Chains A and B, each alone.
Chain A
Amino acid sequence: MNSHHLPAAPHHFAGGIHPADGKAMSASGTIRIPPLLDKYFLVIQQNIGIPPKLLVKKGDPVKKGQLIAEAGGPISVPLHAPTSGTVGDTLDIPGANGAPVPAVEIISDGKDEWCEPMEPYADWRNVSRERLLARVKDAGIVGMGGAAFPTHAKLSPPPERAIDTLVINGAECEPYLTADDHLMREAAQAVITGAGICAKILRISHVLIGVEENKPEAITALRAAAKGIRDLSVVPLHVRYPQGGEKQLIYALTGRKVMAGGLPMDVGCVVQNVGTLAAIADAVINGRPLIERVVTVTGSPVAEPGNFRFRLGTPVRKALEFAGGIRKEVRKLILGGPMMGFAQSSLDVTVSKNTSGILLLAADEVRQFEAGPCLSCGRCVEACPMRLLVSTLSKVCENERYDLADENYVMNCLECGICTYVCPAGRPNVQHFRRAKAELRTMKRKN
C-alpha cells in the first residue's frame, strides 16, 4: 500500500503561528562540503545524559572515525574523531548555552584517512535487531533534531510500552533552516533505509513520515525512494510552527494526544528526525560512525548562505568563513533556529551533533526589548500549542510566585517561543518560564 492517496495530515493542533519563512535564502543549491580544517575542537558531551569517557590523551595518533571516548553509561554514546591526525589538549571552550564545556582538540594531518570501519551490514534485513541496536549505539548516534537524546535508548522503550508507530520528523518548522529539506532531497534513500532499520529494531511496520507542505521536492524524493515499501507513508503537513514539536507532530499524524508531562511512547509512538535516520543508515550499511552533519548557515548578513556538511568540532568562526563571511553588521549569532536557538557571545563555539543551524541576524532585524505590562490581550493564550494560560503564567513568574506557576502547568511549556513572538508588550516570557522551571526543579530536589 503506497501513500499517494492519503490526504494531508488530518488533524490540526490548536495554536501555533506562521512567522515569516526566511528559508528562501538557503533553499536553493545543494549541500556543500567544506575543505579540511587544521584543528577541530570536539565537545566531549554532545548528548543528554552521561558524558562519554575520554580514552585518548595528548599526542595520541587518531584516524578518521576512530573511537576517542567510550559511552559512560546506559544513557550515553561514544564519540569519534572527525579526521585523522593527533590528539591535542583537553581544554574548555564556550558551549552552546554559554557556559564553558570541556572539549578535546584534534590536530589534522591533512591525510583524512579512515580507520577500519565497523562491519558493514549491506543486507541489514537479515541482521538481528540486537546487532542493529548495538550498531546504533556504537556509532554514537543521538537525536539530531536538537534534543541529542541517545537514539539507542529511544529505540529500546520498556517492554510494557507497546509501540505501534514510527513517526519521522521531516517538518523543519523553524524559519530560516533548510538542512533537513536538503538532506531529504539529496539523501532520500538513506532516510528511507534508516526508517526501515528503526522499524525493524522496534519490531513494527507502520511508519509515518511528516514533511511540511512547503517542501514539495523533498516529498517527491521521499515518495520515490519509498516506492514499493509497505505501510510507509509520506504525509504532507500544514505549514505551521511548531509543527515539528513531538506532541504536535504525533497529534497531526495520528490524532493521539500525548498527555501533559508524558512521552511519545505513552501513546505507542517513537519519533525520530530525518537526520538521525540518515546517520543510522550510514552506520549500519557502511559501518561509519557519526562524525559530521548538515548545518544551515544563513541570515541576511551572510555572504553566501547555504547548507554545509560540517564535521563535528568545526568552530563557528571557520564555518562563517566557508560561507563567505559577513557583509553587514551582525547583531546576533544563533546556534539553531530563531525561535528556539541559543544566542552566542563567542565565535569559538563549535558544531555539535545537535547543531542544526548557524543563523546571523543583522542589526536592523533585531530590536532590544523593554518589557511592558501584560495587557491580557490573549494573543499568547490563543497561540500557545500546549494551550497554557500564558498571560497568567507571565504575571505570576514576574512576581516570582513559582507555586502559582506550577499550578498553571508551567512544566508543560515547550519553550517554543511563540508566546514571546506574538506579545505586543515585548515580555520575555520564555526566559520567565525557563527560570520558573529551573526554580521548581531545584525546589523539588530540595524536598
Chain B
Amino acid sequence: MEEKETVSPVPEQKAVTLPPDGSLLLSSSPHIRTSLSINKIMGEVMLCLLPAAVMAVCRYGWNAVRVIGLCMIFCAGWEMLWCKVTKQAQTVRDLSALLTGMILGLNLSPLLPWWLCLAGSFVAIVIAKQVFGGLGQNPFNPAAVARVALLVGAARPMTTWAELPSAFAQMDGVTSATPLTAASQAAAQHADLALYNSSDFLKNAFLGNIGGSLGETCTLAILIGAAGLISLKLIRLYIPLAILGTITVFVWIVNAAAPGLTPGPLFHLLTGGVMLGAFFMATDYVTSPVTNLGGVVFGIGIGVIVCVIRIWGSFPEGMSFAIVIMNALVPLIDKFCYKRPFGWNPVNAYQPRRGEIK
C-alpha cells in the first residue's frame, strides 16, 4: 500500500500529566451543548420588547413606567410567593415571570390603578401558570388570560385610555375611545368609514399617534422588535404570517361582500393588539403548536376569530380572546399536525405499524 507514514520520535522520559482518578464527569452523550438557556431566551425576548416599551414611556411618561414596572414586579412577586408556599425551588430565576409581566403591562392602559395590576399579575402567574404546574405546563398564554380576565372583570378601568400629548386631530375630543371603538361605533351607525382607510390615519396608526394600550399603538416599534426576534432565531415566521395573512384575506373578503361593515385590512392590522399579539404573544413556546404546520393552522384560527369578534362581536378588540381560544385547541392541533418519521411509508410491506416494537 502506498501510504505516507511518519514515525514520531520516541518521546523523552518527561513527566506527562494525566487526569487524576475520580475527577472525570460521567454523563450521557452528547457532550457538547448549545449555550442557550431558558433565562437567556426570556432575556432576549424582553430585549426585543424594549422598543415598544421605550415608545410607551415616550408617549405616556411616568404612567407607562408605573404600569409596566408594577406588572413586572408583581408577577415576579407572586411567583416567588407561590414557590415559597408550595415549598418548591424558586423558579423566578428563569425570567419567565418578568417576561409575562412586561407583556401584560404593555397590554394595559396607562391609567390602570395599581391594585388592578396586582390582580392581573395574580391571574397571569398563579391562576394561568403556577396552578397547572409551572413553566411548560400551562395550556393558556398567561398574559392573554390576565388581559381577558381584566377586560371581563373590570371593563371600565380597562377601557379608559389616556389622552395623547399629540393626538390625531379628530380624536382628541374622545378621551375614552381608541380607533377600534370609534370605528365599530361608526360602522354600527352606518357612518362613513373612509376616515379609517385614509393614508393619513394609517400613517399615524403605524407610528403610534393613536389611542390604545401601552404597547399596541406603535407598530413600527413592534416590527423592530419582531425583526430582532427573527434575527436572534427566537421565533419562526409561520405563526405571525399566518395570523396577519388570514386577517388580511378575511377582511378583504368581508369588504368585498359587505362594504361599510368594517374598515379595510390595513386598518385592522395596524390598530389594536394584532401586531403585538401576533409576534409576541401567539408565538409563546409553551402555548403554541410544536410543528410548523400546526403553527399555520393555529395562526389561521386566531386570524379568523379576531376578525369575527371585531366585525360582529360586542368587543372592539378580540386578539386576547382569540389567542386564549386557540390555545385551548393546541393539543388537538398537535395531535393532527404531527410528523411522520423519516422513511415512513404506508404502502411498504415491511413498515412496522405504529405501536409495534421492532
A421 within 8 A of B: yes
A8 within 8 A of B: no
> Which of these, A282, A326, A372, A418, contacts B17 with CB under 8 Å?
A326
| Given A259-B350, A259-B351, A376-B285, residue A317 in contact with residue B36 (CB < 8 A) | no
Q: How far apart sit A419 and B333, CA to CA, in the bound complex (Å)? A: 22
Q: How far apart sit A285 and B351, CA to CA, in the bound complex (Å)? A: 41
B152 within 8 A of A: no
A409 within 8 A of B: yes
B309 within 8 A of A: no
Q: How far apart sit A361 and B19, CA to CA, in the bound complex (Å)? A: 11
Q: How far apart sit A175 and B38, CA to CA, in the bound complex (Å)? A: 25
Contact B26 A343 (CB under 8 A): yes
Q: Which residues of B contact A30 (CB under 8 A)?
A: 4, 6
CB distance from A100 to the nearest CB of B (A): 15
Q: How far apart sit A189 and B3, CA to CA, in the bound complex (Å)? A: 8
Q: Which residues of B contact A346 (CB under 8 A)?
A: 21
Contact B31 A366 (CB under 8 A): yes
Per-residue CB proximity of A381-394 to B under 8 Å, as 1/0? Answer: 11001111101100
Per-residue CB proximity of A361-382 to B under 8 Å, as 1/0? Answer: 1000111110011111110011
Nearest residue (CB) in B for A15 is B342
Q: How far apart sit A330 and B23, CA to CA, in the bound complex (Å)? A: 8
- Of residues 252 to 292 in B, which have CB atoms within 8 Å of A's CB atoms? 285-286, 288, 290-292
Contact A347 B19 (CB under 8 A): yes
> Which of these, B1, B7, B342, contacts A260 with CB under 8 Å?
B342
| Given A260-B341, A343-B27, residue A190 in contact with residue B1 (CB < 8 A) | yes
| Given A260-B344, A330-B24, A372-B94, residue A417 in contact with residue B135 (CB < 8 A) | no
> Which of these, B286, B348, B354, contacts A375 with CB under 8 Å?
B286
> Which of these, A368, A386, A406, A441, contacts B342 with CB under 8 Å?
A386
Q: How far apart sit A227 and B167, CA to CA, in the bound complex (Å)? A: 77
Q: Which residues of B contact A391 (CB under 8 A)?
A: 290
Q: Which residues of B contact A33 (CB under 8 A)?
A: 5-8
CB distance from A266 to the nearest CB of B (A): 6
Contact B24 A421 (CB under 8 A): no
Q: How far apart sit A426 and B37, CA to CA, in the bound complex (Å)? A: 7
Nearest residue (CB) in B for A281 is B1
A31 within 8 A of B: yes
> Which of these, B8, B30, B34, B41, contacts A430 with CB under 8 Å?
B30
Per-residue CB proximity of A334-347 to B under 8 Å, as 1/0? Answer: 10101111111111
Per-residue CB proximity of A274-302 to B under 8 Å, as 1/0? Answer: 00000001100110000000000000000
Nearest residue (CB) in A for B134 is A373
- Of residues 179 to 201 in A, which have CB atoms within 8 Å of B's CB atoms? 186-187, 189-190
- Of residues 8 to 58 in B, which have CB atoms within 8 Å of A's CB atoms? 8, 10-11, 16-19, 21, 23-34, 36-38, 40-41
A and B contact pairs by CB, cutoff 8 A, 30 listed: A13-B342, A257-B342, A259-B344, A262-B343, A326-B19, A332-B24, A338-B30, A338-B32, A345-B26, A347-B21, A369-B33, A372-B94, A372-B135, A372-B136, A375-B136, A377-B285, A381-B290, A381-B291, A389-B339, A407-B355, A418-B30, A420-B29, A421-B30, A424-B41, A425-B38, A425-B136, A426-B33, A426-B37, A434-B28, A443-B357
Q: List chain A positions with a Cβ less than 8 A from chain B.
A: 13-14, 19-20, 30-35, 98, 175, 186-187, 189-190, 247, 251, 257-262, 266, 281-282, 285-286, 303, 309, 317, 320-322, 324-327, 329-334, 336, 338-347, 359-361, 365-369, 372-378, 381-382, 385-389, 391-392, 406-407, 409, 411-412, 415, 417-418, 420-426, 428, 430-431, 434, 440-441, 443-444
Q: List chain B positions with a Cβ less than 8 A from chain A.
A: 1-8, 10-11, 16-19, 21, 23-34, 36-38, 40-41, 94, 134-137, 236, 285-286, 288, 290-292, 334, 338-345, 348, 350-352, 354-355, 357-358
